[in-house]
Amino acid sequence: MKRFILVAVAALTLAAGTASANTSTPGVDRREAMQRWRIAHGMHSGQLRRGEARRLMRGERRIHRMEWRAKRDGHVSRRERLRMHRALDRESARIWRLKHNGRTRV
């Protein structure tokens, strides 16, 4: 009986630790979605050429993989969050620059 109680307590402790793991990144997810929308809008409006959009989507995939790797251990640290937001800032600047470079889809 004591062994059963110890196993149950250990299982609950592990479950509680996993449930409290900080893997949520709503700010990053929201920014990724908005940037994907900006790229799609640029393609639709003709502001982005096919190659430019492809390069931007490759950058978005890189950020998504970065997020996946950060979540892999069950905890997203402050440093990892900061790194993702900096990458999103750079990608946002790239989107703006390519949308406003004067080249349009013919």
The region of weakest confidence among 9-18, 37-46, 73-82 is 9-18
CA atoms within 13 A on the CB side of 97: 9
Locate the domains of the chain by residue range: 24-99
Average pLDDT over residues 28-36: 95
Residue 98 pLDDT: 95
Whole-angstrom Cα distance, residue 106 to residue 86? 33
Angle at 41 between CA 86 and CA 57, to 5 degrees: 45
pTM for the structure as a whole? 0.75
CA distance 49 to 44: 10
- Helices of type H across the chain: 2-19, 26-45, 50-71, 78-99
- Residues 77 and 23 sit within 8 Å (Cβ to Cβ): no
Tokens 């620059």: give the residue: 97
* Mean per-residue pLDDT, 83-94: 97
pLDDT for 12 equals 64
